[in-house]
Each structure stands twice: as structure tokens, then as C-alpha cells.
Structure 1
């Protein structure tokens, strides 16, 4: 399942090429990527939620992403609209959101990457003490690719000490063909008899780190032995070495063809007689 995704009502989807990425399109995207359930967590609004949730997988579960003080907090659960301006003015307001999210909104709170790592790296224990329920440790957004394996291990250790759950998320805004991370969450074998979204929330509410098994497709990370500024070269190398011989040959043919076409155009322009 996926704990963090968006539709066209989010501010960073409206007006882009993905402006038609509504709840139905989000569901199709997650079906192709192999998900059974997905939380719709648009920025500061619940207007993207379907009026009638689907009765078959992939299930669409309700949520919202709040722009709080120097943090993005994902609330998982059937929340009404949340006035984010109440929580984005100070650290105290952020902590108030974490303290009251369960009682006021009936939701579990998850700190999203990369904001908490950039702005609250040394405050995670305080966030947990205030009532934070979970942490993203994988986010498919390129801007969230800065966390190292060692740092991730320390975050998991903190989550374990504080009985927080950890998740990986697509943070899908409609771009791309598939996901690079999935979450395995055991739920009752007969979901028709229970609300699958509530069953998922009940599992992660009480399960801590062990509640979710994260499956991540390999990608380069900013490790000490691989500087972040070299990741474009590394990504090309990773793609190349993962190809079959036939696929690698087809890439070479296309690259050679593009080079030859450009060279021919340049030659033609140089040899064309002046008018």
C-alpha cells in the first residue's frame, strides 16, 4: 500500500501537465504499480477525495498533508478540512498539531521527507514526545533522496524507542509510470467484512516499527562514497548495467542515430551555398 499521494487539487499539480490527475487517475496509477490501497493526502485540502470510495482494490483511503511550521505532516484518517494556518507559525504550533491530531481529527500523524530531515533533524525526539505517530524513511520524490543509509538506521532506531511506525511513500503527483517503494501491511483476510482503510490504520497504530514491511526498489543515494553531485552519472551507469544486451544495443543504436542525424544537419548547413 501507499501512505502518501496526491491528486490534481494539490497546489503543485494544478496547472501542470498532470492537472487531470484526479482520484480515479490516481487509483489507476496505483493499480498499474501493484498497490491494493492508497491514501489520498493532498496539500491542505480534502477536496480530492471521492464522494463514493471504491469497493474493490485499490482502495482509496482518506488523508491530508498539512503545511505546518517548517514541516509537512501527513494525517492519515477520515479527517475534515484542516486549517493549516493554525500550525505553521512556530514550533509550538507544530507541536500542538502533533498533540491534537488524534483527538481533534481522528488521524495518525506522519512526518514527511525531506522537510523533517532538513528542518527538524535534532528535534525528532521532541516531535515524538509531542505525539507524532510515524515517520517516512523512504520518499520517491527526487528531493527526498538525500538521506543516507546510516541516517535511516538512526531514524528507525528512534522510531523503535518511541513506538513509532515507519513507512515508504510514492508521494505520487501523477508523474512517472510506476512506484519505487511499496508497504506490506497485514489486514484481515476478508476485507469485504471490514473497512480496509480502518484495518490498516488499526494495524499501524499499535504495531510500531514492525507494523509495516517496506519494499524499496534500488536507487542511488547520497552516501559518503558517492557525492550527491555525481548522482546523474551514477543513475546513467545504474540504468546501463541493469539492461539486457538487446536493450543496451538498442540504446546505442538510438544514441548513434541521434548523433549521426545532428552531424548530417551540421554538414548540410556548412556546405549550403550562400544565397
Structure 2
């Protein structure tokens, strides 16, 4: 008696292998610059050993984490459509097979069990991806004269963190998160809070690998404005109208020694028609990339519009994590030039460079499935896998192929000839 592979069992791993390798023929750069187009050639993503060992799981966590909100809705819709199509196709393939009456009852129970198992696996994937501060890809190969910065992040002092499962995500936790992603400096910009606790944490982290810098995110009239710098208390009621908003943008530097940044998604939703006016009156910069799903909706055409306005008025553009502690995926970094190497006052050096305007920052973002990519919303699950494969690189491609064939071996069914 001998064992042999059944051809149907080889079809899936062979197909997946062809697709993964085919994606490398249509590969996309893992990193890019939304302004210049091409990232510096020295930059790369450093891959932790556990990330590489569990490549399919970790890369898909990243791919889903970088989806916009509209794409996340498409992801769930697409999973429902694809699951239904799979079960209907299976039913059609088996309907002519001879069955006993008891088998029909068993088939119904099996379908219910399969659905419950699928929902549990999906829930486990999403919850684990959101809660586990797992090993993450970090930016490497940075020029020693560049400071890697994040200009918008939150801690548990913000109202939308303190009562969630991320309630323990304090300033030190944010520092660790950003350190693992390769940041040199991160601005802590809690909602409407410029607190003594934040400044204490910032001072204590002064000698750490990632420096915490002061800031605040202000909720104003149909806009969220990030103020970068140690503002002290800000009287928000003075700026709760259009005139108040314009007054803050005009005086933020003199009144609070802070630079103002228009935050996503609010300026896209409510201020799109007056971006020129905001920049002309004194807004210092725009968020061009924001990793929060609800703020990650800018199309390529809209991105080019913001870049054009920023260039015309000599305003800087930045990419931000808008981190609230969930997950472990860094989607974007900023390179701020610091001739002569890292200065003693990292935060001050970054702010000083931002004052030079449009050329102050170079944004580096990861390849991902975007809201305006050609994939239909209901095919988002396939689209996110394909775009993930295109940017893998050969080490992570090998990780995928090993798991594909390991899975095939586990499903091997011996047959006697």
C-alpha cells in the first residue's frame, strides 16, 4: 500500500503559489512619497523575526489595518459575498450525490457550524489585530541627518481612549509603540487637553529612544486643528466660529508659540472649499496622509489638490498615525532634515524646520489598497490580499509560500492505490 497526492488537493496550493509569485511580477514599491512619488532608495521596512515567521497573518493584519473606512465596509461586505458564493458552489457540487434523509439534517447542522466557526475566526482575527501590540514593521535605512517624526497621536487622556480597551495606553505606551515603528519623535496631541501630566511624561522621556513632544488637537468650528508646541491652556470657546477659527490660525504662533495643522477628516468634510483661505490667513500645514480609517479617504486627485495649495502658500504637508493605541501597524512616517545629526532639543529642531514651509517634511507611506483603487468595494477582501502580495518583497513572499505548502501538507489525505 502506498500514499499519493490527490490532484484536487494540489490545485489550491499550486494556484496560490502562482498568484503570489505573479504578484511579484506586478510588484509595487513597499514605500513611496506622495509628493515626489519615489521614496529614497536607502529606505526599507525592517521585519521582526516573528512577523516573518507568521507572514500571512501579520501581513494581512497590516493590510486590513491600513484600509479606509469605506474599504473596511467593503471588506465585511465582500467576505459575506464570497462566503455565500463558496457555500452555494459547494451545495451545487454535492446536490447530485446520493444521500440518506438523515444526511440532510446533518448537512443543515454542518452549515450552521461552518458559519459559526467562520464568524468566530473572523472575530478572533479582528480582535487580536486590534488589541495585540505585536511585533511591527519599522522604517530603516534612514539618513542620519533625518529625524523620523509623527505629528498627531493620542494617549488615554483623550476622551475617545479613556473608556475603551485601550484605557492603559498612556504617554509611555505611545512612546514604546512609536519606538518599535522607528520614530525618533512623536507629538502627543490629545483632544482639547494640554495637561501637566503630558508635560511630565515628555520631560521623563527626554533620554529615551523616541522623544515625546507637546501638542494638542483642538475641536473648533467645523474643523480639528492640531497645534504643535507647548501651548499651555487654550481657551477653546474663543474659536468656536469661523471668525474664531481664522483668528486662531492667524495668531497661533504669537499667542501659543505653536504651529497649526489642519486635521483629517474634518477639513475634507467641512472646509474643502476654503482651504486656500485657511492657508492664506495663517494655517501652517495640512495632514496629507492620516492612518485612521475614517481619515484615510483622500483620493489621489484630492491629494494632488492639497499638495498644490500647500506649495502655492509655502505650507508644509505631513503624514500622521493619529494613533489611539489600537493594533501595531505604522502606515506613514515623516522625514525632517536636521543637518549635523540629531540635535539636543529634538522637538525644537523639528518645529524650527517646519517653519521653513513646504519643503520641510518628506512623507513616506506604505503601499496599500486605497479607497479609489479600481477594485470594486465588494471585492475588497481579494483586493487587500493582492495589494499586500504586491509589496511583500522576497523574504515575506517566501514566508507566504512556506505556509501555503505547510497547509497543503496538513490537509494531505492518504489514498491506497
Shorter-chain TM range is 0.7 to 0.9
**Cα offsets for 1:11-65 (capped at 9, x unmatched):** 1111111111111111000000000000000000022514124223311110000
> Gaps (5+ residues) in structure 2?
1-148, 411-417
1:186 pairs with 2:337: yes
With normalisation by structure 2, the TM-score equals 0.57
- Distance of 1:150 and 1:144 partners within structure 2: 16
- Distance of 2:405 and 2:301 partners within structure 1: 37
1:83 pairs with 2:208: no
Which of the pair has the greater relative contact order for Cα pairs under 8 Å at 6+ separation? 2
Q: Is the 8 A contact 1:6 1:41 kept in 2?
A: yes
Aligned mate of 1:64, from 216, 236, 239: 216
Q: Aligned pair in 2 of structure 1 residues 83, 233: CA closer, same or farther (>3 Å)?
A: farther
Q: Is the 8 A contact 1:187 1:196 kept in 2?
A: no
The more displaced of 240-249 and 142-151 is 240-249
- Distance of 2:407 and 2:217 partners within structure 1: 42
Aligned mate of 1:49, from 195, 198, 203: 198
Between structures 1 and 2, the one with greater helix share: 2
What SS does the aligned partner of 1:67 have? strand
Aligned mate of 2:157, from 9, 14, 21: 9
1:237 pairs with 2:386: yes
What SS does the aligned partner of 2:337 have? coil
**RMSD of aligned C-alpha atoms?**
2.4
Q: Is the 8 A contact 2:285 2:317 kept in 1?
A: yes
Q: Is the 8 A contact 2:155 2:170 kept in 1?
A: yes
What SS does the aligned partner of 1:160 have? helix
> Gaps (5+ residues) in structure 1?
258-275
How many pairs align?
255
Aligned mate of 2:351, from 188, 201, 219: 201
With normalisation by structure 1, the TM-score equals 0.85
User: In the TM superposition, what is the alpha-carbon distance from 1:229 to its structure 2 partner?
Assistant: 6.1
**Cα offsets for 1:120-170 (capped at 9, x unmatched):** 111001111221000000001111221111211121111011010000001
What SS does the aligned partner of 1:46 have? coil
Structure 1 runs of 4+ off > 6 angstroms? Answer: 251-255
